[in-house]
Amino acid sequence: MKITPLIGLEVHVELETKSKMFCGCPADHFGKKPNTQTCPVCLGLPGALPVPNQKAIESCLQIGLALNCRVNSISKFDRKQYFYPDLAKGYQISQYDEPFCSEGFLVLDSGKRIGIERVHQEEDTGKLKHEIINGEKVTLVDYNRGGVPLVEIVSRPDMSSSSEAKEYLHKIHEIIRALGVSGADMEKGQMRLEPTVNVCLENETGLHYTPLVEIKNINSFNFAAQAIDFEVSRQVEEFEKSGLTKTPTNKTTRGYDSVKKVTFLQRTKEEAKDYRYFPEPDIPPFVLENEYLESLRSSLPLLPDQEIASLVSLGIEKKDAKVLISTQNRVAIERLKSFAGDTEINLQKMASLIVNGKLSALANVKADYLNLTKVGLTDRGELEKIIREIMVANPALVSAYQAGKTSLAGFFVGQTLKATHGSADAQTVNKLVTELLK
């Protein structure tokens, strides 16, 4: 039986704007006193009117452009109705059939293209906190996060292994950070992951697709990969037992228990019709002019893959370039680029020294680099080479030394230190000179 996992990812990114998506409340909610950052708009009180946050929409468009999406000339917001205590309004403002961006892609290192179905804008919900107060189980709600701008990136189910999913997530994470639209800090919940998984099984009776499962709210790339792996084997086993295959209505939602490393059933999935989407009546549709989009496109920074390519073109090894990008070592990247064409510097060597923590990319990086690489401060081989050269150039002195004039060692030490511009350790040189002269 041939097994092909079909993996898609929904990624929520919380944007780092000053204010919330539709009101003037601060968007930075992390660690703030509960319910101190709310207003009639984000609480959905009667008569309050939402005003879209331009910066947030710009960030959403930038993400879409960076993911090679088509930006739709007309888009609109919709109301997604559902009743849950973390949603003060009883609906969430999101985008349904006319999102800002659609039909993009991201390329993995293997060259495989992962389709991006859409990149749309919405608002975050509040947070529920389950506690025990006076011996009673209660749920507290904090609306500070309610209304914070979110972007949802929905991929096509084009990934066929958890490692592809992980690479996809890393790339999305790096793109978001390169754009500067969010810190995408997983621990703060600024990037939340929902893999959708099913499996295509091929046996003697043909192709069979297992029912689709969406795994909710995962906050680490490793957990996402583990949940996907678990889900793939669970679905294969389930198919072997029940023979159940995918229908338009049997999609389910599961959670992931990172301690037991299993997924568990949460609920059968709401259909779009359950959400009763309709156009948000308080916000008119958007018409985006080409000129505006072109200016946004041309102001995009160099994206991670482009940045890696530009470093590689300077002679830096790809693996070092990737580390510099993933650790967001901007200072080092700029410094390295500024030395392009400097004949005293081997950029590949400099990058590798920086990546390995042997050289700091501070202001005096060039001087430090030259000192480090001149003769290899601690590099015995380099020193030996220099001492041998001095010996070859002074055969008479070598013979005199070997005939008993041991004070001549000082001459060789002095010459060596001179050749290394004083960067070599005198004691090491002393020891080596004595060894070699014998």
Chain positions contacting Zn ion, by CB under 5 A: 23, 25, 39, 41-42
Q: Could you give the CA distance from residue 270 to residue 252 in angstroms, rounded to a whole number?
A: 9
Q: Smallest distance from the beta carbon of 40 to Zn ion, in angstroms?
A: 7
C-alpha count within 13 angstroms, C-beta hemisphere, residue 149: 32
Show Cβ contacts of residue 142 under 8 Å, excluding neighbours closer than 6 positions.
Answer: 34, 35, 126, 127, 129
> Measured from the CB atom, is 25 or 432 closer to Zn ion?
25
> Measured from the CB atom, is 49 or 309 closer to Zn ion?
49
Supply the Cα-derived Rg of the chain in whole angstroms. 30
> Measured from the CB atom, is 104 or 126 closer to Zn ion?
126
Cα-based distances in Å from 146 to 53, 118, 123, 150, 284: 14, 23, 7, 10, 22
Q: Smallest distance from the beta carbon of 27 to Zn ion, in angstroms?
A: 10
What value, to the nearest 5°, has the Cα angle with vertex 190 and ends 29 and 11? 140
Q: Smallest distance from the beta carbon of 178 to Zn ion, in angstroms?
A: 30
Q: How far is residue 74 CA from its own chain's centroid?
A: 30
Q: Could you give the CA distance from residue 243 to residue 227 in angstroms, rounded to a whole number?
A: 22
Q: Could you give the CA distance from residue 263 to residue 254 in angstroms, rounded to a whole number?
A: 6
Q: Could you give the CA distance from residue 231 to residue 411 in angstroms, rounded to a whole number?
A: 73
Q: Smallest distance from the beta carbon of 290 to Zn ion, in angstroms?
A: 33
Tokens of 286: 């958007």
DSSP state of 256: E
Q: Could you give the CA distance from residue 177 to residue 185 in angstroms, rounded to a whole number?
A: 9
Cβ distance 420 to 375 under 8 Å? yes
Q: Smallest distance from the beta carbon of 45 to Zn ion, in angstroms?
A: 10
> Measured from the CB atom, is 25 or 386 closer to Zn ion?
25
> Measured from the CB atom, is 145 or 156 closer to Zn ion?
145
> Measured from the CB atom, is 145 or 335 closer to Zn ion?
145
Q: Smallest distance from the beta carbon of 20 to Zn ion, in angstroms?
A: 5
> Measured from the CB atom, is 20 or 192 closer to Zn ion?
20
Q: Smallest distance from the beta carbon of 83 to Zn ion, in angstroms?
A: 20
> Measured from the CB atom, is 86 or 103 closer to Zn ion?
86
Q: Could you give the CA distance from residue 108 to residue 111 in angstroms, rounded to a whole number?
A: 5
Task: Kindly give the pairing relationship between strand 127-133 and strand 91-94.
Answer: unpaired
Cβ distance 377 to 371 under 8 Å? yes
> Measured from the CB atom, is 43 or 409 closer to Zn ion?
43
Q: Smallest distance from the beta carbon of 172 to Zn ion, in angstroms?
A: 28
Q: Could you give the CA distance from residue 145 to residue 129 in angstroms, rounded to a whole number?
A: 13
Segment (H or E) for 74: strand 74-75
Q: Smallest distance from the beta carbon of 225 to Zn ion, in angstroms?
A: 37
